[in-house]
Structure formats: C-alpha cells, structure tokens
C-alpha cells in the first residue's frame, strides 16, 4: 500500500529528525549567550531540511549500524509474519477452504493480525491526524481573512508616516497596510503574499509615537526576513509529525527563536540609548495585555517568552566567531549522523569483495615495480650507451619487454584464479542446493518435505519459537530461530515447505543463481523482494528470495530460500488446487 510506504518513510525521518533536534537543543544549551540570536534561529534550518528532504547516505559510520541485523533476521515474529506471507501474492491465491477450529484459534493470534494490519492502520490514523490539523489551520485562516475584510484600515497620518519611514529604512517596496484588529491581543503581522500589520484598536491611544516606531519596526523585520513563510512551513511540518512531541517542542522553539532574532535585527538598527527603550516597550506591552491570545498563522510582538527576549536585549552582544563555527560544525556532524543510513558490508553481492578490492592494488603494485625496474634499466642503458653497441641495447630492451609481459601475465593469472575459485565455491553451493531440493531437503536441515511431519522436527529441535496460521501460504508455519529454519505444515501435520535462512546463502547473488540455474520458471516482485522459482523435479520446487534490485544494489544477494511440495497444499475437500509456487 502506497500510504503505508509513505508512513514508514515519515517514521524514519521522524527518528532521524528527533536525533538532530536533541543535538541542536544540547548545542544551543552549551553555547547559550556565546551565539547570536540569529544563529540560534537559523540553526534550526538543518532540522526543517532533515524533516522534509528524504536524503539517504550509505555509510558504515551510521549509529543505525549498532542495531543488530541478525536479531531481526532470526526473530520468530519477523520471519513468520514478514517473509512467509510474501511468498505468494494475494492476487494469485484462491482460498476456498475454511480453517478448522484450531486454525481459527491460530488466526486469532494477535501476532498475525498485527503483522497484517499494524502499518495499514497506523498509516490511516496518521493521515487522519495530518488531514485534521491541516483542515483546522485552513479553517482558522479562512475565518481570519473574513474577519479582516470587516476590519477598518488605519488612516492616521502619523502612524502611516512612521510605517513608510520604517519601510524605507529596511528597503521594503511592497504595499503594507495597518489594520485595526482585536483578533489578537498584541500587534502582529499576517499574510505571506499581501502582508498586513494587525494592531488592536485599543492600543492606539496607549502607546507613544516612539513606541509605535519600535513595534512597527519589529513587524517590518518579520516581513523583510520572510518569517511568515517559515512559520507556514513549520505549521505544515508540525501537522505531518503530529505524533512526535519532540518535533513539536523543537518547532515551537523555532518560533520563539524567530521572535528573539527579529528583536536582534531591530536592535542592530537602533542607537545605544534606544535599546533600553525598546526593552521597556516590550514590558509595557506585557502590562497592557497580560492575557495572551494568539492567532494561527500570525507572528506577534508580545508573547509568553518575553523574559528571554528582555534578557537578550539587556545582554545584547555579537557572538564569537569561533563559537559560531564550532557550534555549526557540531550541528552538521549530528545532522550527518542522523542522515546516514547503515551501509552494506564490505562483501560485494557476489561475495568477491576481498578478491575484487585487492586486485587493483596488486596489479598497480606490480606495474609500479615493473615500471621502476624498466626506468632503472633504461637509465643504466643511457649511461652505458657510449660504451656499448647497438646490439647490446636491443638485447636489453627485449629483456625489459619480456620481464614486463611476465609480470602482467602473472598478475592476470592470479586475479583470474581468485575470481574463478570464488565462483566455483558459489557454483558448488548452488549445486548442493539443487541436489538436496530433488530429495525435498534444504541445506541446513535433515528433514525432507512430504515424508516428514512436524512432530518429528519438534522431537529433535525442540518446541518452535512461534507457530502461525498463514492463509495465503496454505498452512501453519513453525519458526526455529536457533537453527535458521522455518517449516510449513498442513492440517495433517505433513511438512510441505522447508525454508532456510542459512548465512552461507548471503554468498549467492541473483545473477549467479540465474547463470547456474538458468531462466526461472517463476519470477515475481512483491513488497520489495524478487522471488524466483525453479522446478527441482516432478514433486518439488525451489523458491529463492532476494531484495528487489535497485540502482544502489543492482545484484542483491540471497536472503533465504525454500523447498516446496505443492501437492501438500491441495485441499481435496473443497477442490482447492493448492499452491503452485
């Protein structure tokens, strides 16, 4: 389901964004007053980019590499619920038989139900939450626009004059109106395309012209810095990540830092004696409007975080360049760590990593030695040219050429031998897989399908870690994690499928399997996997499962494979033909 895939990507970005958010909060706390207000604000850009850009970098230094991959592969819930149902696409299955009472009890197991429905349900809940929040924001803004149409425009010449002087000082050319609005309890700016400065009408007679200049200068700086665009983006990101309280907290911090950064921009344009008056204006605003009432989509002058703003004003100073560079470097390091995904091992898809990676260095070394040898001999030849005959020079040249060819031939032979040896190992393993499949067996099990019942397996391997009824696969599946095997059995306890998760299978690439076994009789791509099948003989089939090839991994290695006895899935009572693959 596309929605589930999108939700999984959002969860991954949420995890990585949380790591970066924690890193930024720690870095900001460490440096505090050593960084400028604008730096405290702009550093959040990294978090916003992390949350909206699905950047994936493959690397071995990722913290995600500390998550043990093998535990996931051997986890009984993961094997039984993730891999087994995927082997047969739902569209190719026809189920005409009703499970028995025991089967119904197994089907009621919460593990199976959660495996099938967890992501779909979670994705639906997530999209409902996102839609609800965005709808709320849209409704609030529509109501706000309707209210503003009914509000009167300020026509006082002294206020308009102050506004025009402020616009000229900040080089703002867009048309900006001052609107009398009681929707907000403090001056605010609203509108990305046609910005308006909202001022409560009751405030007109309570502030001096100088205080109005400070207020308008603050709102004009918001407009110049495009803070409303950032604020809108933050609301959308908060809607997407509504389930993550850390992201919400961090994005609220961004809005607070925006106000402080705007104050810093205003202070930079003021004279020294005016800075204290600017802080006093904020205090007066708090005194006049002690009850805060904000409107979604606006950026206001007075807020509950004014204590921090006043501290910044009284202690205003430029940040240290060294601290700024250090803080930015640490933030980028944390950001890169949260962006990096765990890379694959050094083993190449064909298992030839050691040979392949070492080959260029051996060849280059040999060529370098040959070149040095030729150069040395050439120099000797030049020094002795006056005392030797042309025939000697010719013999020496022939000797050098012969030596160079010998070196290259030796290196080429070693490389070919190494690659051939590795390929022979893979072919022998595949040959063993096919030979055992003709007997109904997998490589790491002595229990053949068709002739073995699940009780025989339990007597030797013990109680399975998990047993689940899988309707699409036509039977129950027992997981034996320690032995890296899974067995599928029917109502009569007959084993019809044996599945191997042996680690040796990771040496077999998709291209090598197709080269040795030929064109598969069955080849489908489902849920990020490519499943290919071959007929071992008249009774047994082989199914081999690989990650689906991609640009970054065009030739994936085998994840697991199974030997299937199709007739063991037939239900004669309901004319169900059973599985073919």
DSSP assignment of 78-90: HIIIIIHHHTS-G
**524 - beta bridge partners?**
531
Quick one: pLDDT at residue 188? 87
Quick one: pLDDT at residue 290? 57
Q: Taking the model in full, what pTM does it have?
A: 0.50
Rounded Cα distance between 122 and 374, Å, is 70
**564 - beta bridge partners?**
497, 541
Please list, in sequence order, all residues whose beta carbon lies within 8 angstroms of the beta carbon of residue 56, skipping any fewer than 6 positions away: 339, 341
Rounded to a whole number of angstroms, the CA Rg of the chain reads: 36
3-state secondary structure of 236: helix
DSSP, res 108: T
Quick one: pLDDT at residue 459? 92
Helix (H) or strand (E) segment spanning residue 560:
strand 560-564
Q: Model confidence over 467-511: pLDDT tens digits?
A: 888 888 888 999 998 999 999 999 889 999 999 999 999 989 999
Q: What is the residue extent of each domain of the chain? A: 1-93+126-343, 353-418, 438-574
Quick one: pLDDT at residue 96? 40
Q: Model confidence over 526-578: pLDDT tens digits?
A: 888 999 999 999 999 999 999 999 999 999 999 999 999 999 988 877 677 88
CA-to-CA separations, 59 to 21, 64, 161, 344, 355, in angstroms, rounded: 21, 10, 59, 8, 21
Rounded Cα distance between 361 and 259, Å, is 58
Instruction: Judge whether residue 131 has pLDDT over 70.
Output: yes
Query: 535 exposed, middle or buried (CB, 10 Å; 0-12, 13-18, 19+)?
Result: middle
φ and ψ at residue 473, rounded to 5 degrees: -95, 0
Q: Model confidence over 377-407: pLDDT tens digits?
A: 444 344 444 444 444 444 444 555 555 555 5
Burial 432-445 (b: 16+ CB within 10 A, else e): ebeebbeebbbbbb
Rounded Cα distance between 126 and 240, Å, is 8
Instruction: Judge whether residue 295 has pLDDT over 80.
Output: no
pLDDT bracket for residue 420 (50, 70, 90): low
φ and ψ at residue 500, rounded to 5 degrees: -115, 135
| Angle, alpha carbons 184-141-10 (nearest 5°) | 115
Quick one: pLDDT at residue 239? 93
Q: Where do the H-state alpha helices sit in 188-226?
A: 209-224
* Helices 306-314 and 245-268, axial angle in degrees (round to 10): 40
User: What's the longest Cα–Cα distance across the chain?
Assistant: 112
Determine how β-strand 188-190 pairs with β-strand 541-547.
unpaired
């Amino acid at each position: 389901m596309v929605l589930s895939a999108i939700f999984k990507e959002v969860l991954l970005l949420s995890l990585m964004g949380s790591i970066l958010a924690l890193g930024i909060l720690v870095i900001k706390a460490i440096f505090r007053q050593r960084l400028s207000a604008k730096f405290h604000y702009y550093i959040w850009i990294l978090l916003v980019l992390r949350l909206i850009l699905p950047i994936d970098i493959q690397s071995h230094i990722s913290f995600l590499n500390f998550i043990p991959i093998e535990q996931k592969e051997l986890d009984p819930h993961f094997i039984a619920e993730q891999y087994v149902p995927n082997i047969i696409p739902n569209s190719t299955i026809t189920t005409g038989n009703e499970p028995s009472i025991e089967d119904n009890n197994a089907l009621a197991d919460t593990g199976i139900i959660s495996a099938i429905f967890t992501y779909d349900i979670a994705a639906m809940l997530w999209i409902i939450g996102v839609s609800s929040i965005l709808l709320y924001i849209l409704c609030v803004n529509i109501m706000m626009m309707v209210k503003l149409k009914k509000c009167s425009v300020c026509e006082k010449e002294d206020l308009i004059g102050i506004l025009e002087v402020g616009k000229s000082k900040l080089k703002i050319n867009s048309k900006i109106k001052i609107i009398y609005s009681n929707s907000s309890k403090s001056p605010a700016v609203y509108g990305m395309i046609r910005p308006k400065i909202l001022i409560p009408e009751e405030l007109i007679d309570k502030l001096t012209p100088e205080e109005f200049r400070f207020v308008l200068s603050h709102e004009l700086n918001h407009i110049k810095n495009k803070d409303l665009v950032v604020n809108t983006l933050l609301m959308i990101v908060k809607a997407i990540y509504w389930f993550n309280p850390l992201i919400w907290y961090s994005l609220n911090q961004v809005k607070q830092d925006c106000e402080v950064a705007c104050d810093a921009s205003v202070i930079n344009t003021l004279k020294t004696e005016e800075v204290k008056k600017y802080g006093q204006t904020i205090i007066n605003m708090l005194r006049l409007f002690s009850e805060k009432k904000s409107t979604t989509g606006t950026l206001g002058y007075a807020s509950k975080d004014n204590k921090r703003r006043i501290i910044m004003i009284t202690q205003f100073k430029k940040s240290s360049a060294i601290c700024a560079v250090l803080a930015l470097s640490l933030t980028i390091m944390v950001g890169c760590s949260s962006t990096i995904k765990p890379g694959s091992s050094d083993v190449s898809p064909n298992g030839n990593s050691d040979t392949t990676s070492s080959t260029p260095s051996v060849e280059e070394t040999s060529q370098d030695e040959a070149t040095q040898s030729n150069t040395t001999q050439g120099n000797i030849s030049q020094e002795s040219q006056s005392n030797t005959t042309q025939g000697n020079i010719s013999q020496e040249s022939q000797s050098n050429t012969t030596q160079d060819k010998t070196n290259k031939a030796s290196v080429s032979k070693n490389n070919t031998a190494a690659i051939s040896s590795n390929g022979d190992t893979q072919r022998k393993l595949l040959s063993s897989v096919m030979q055992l499949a003709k007997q109904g067996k997998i490589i790491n099990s002595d229990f053949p399908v068709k002739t073995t019942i699940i009780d025989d397996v339990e007597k030797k391997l013990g109680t399975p870690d998990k047993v689940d009824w899988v309707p699409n696969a036509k039977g129950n599946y027992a997981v034996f994690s320690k032995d890296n095997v899974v067995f599928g059995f029917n109502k009569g306890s007959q084993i019809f499928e044996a599945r191997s998760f042996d680690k040796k299978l990771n040496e077999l690439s998709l291209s090598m399997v197709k080269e040795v076994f030929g064109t598969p009789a069955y080849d489908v791509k489902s849920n990020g996997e490519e499943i290919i099948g071959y007929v071992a003989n008249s009774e047994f089939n082989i199914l081999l499962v690989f990650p689906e090839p991609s640009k970054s991994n065009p030739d994936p290695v085998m994840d697991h494979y199974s030997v299937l006895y199709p007739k063991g899935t037939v239900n004669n009572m309901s004319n169900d033909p059973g599985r073919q693959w």
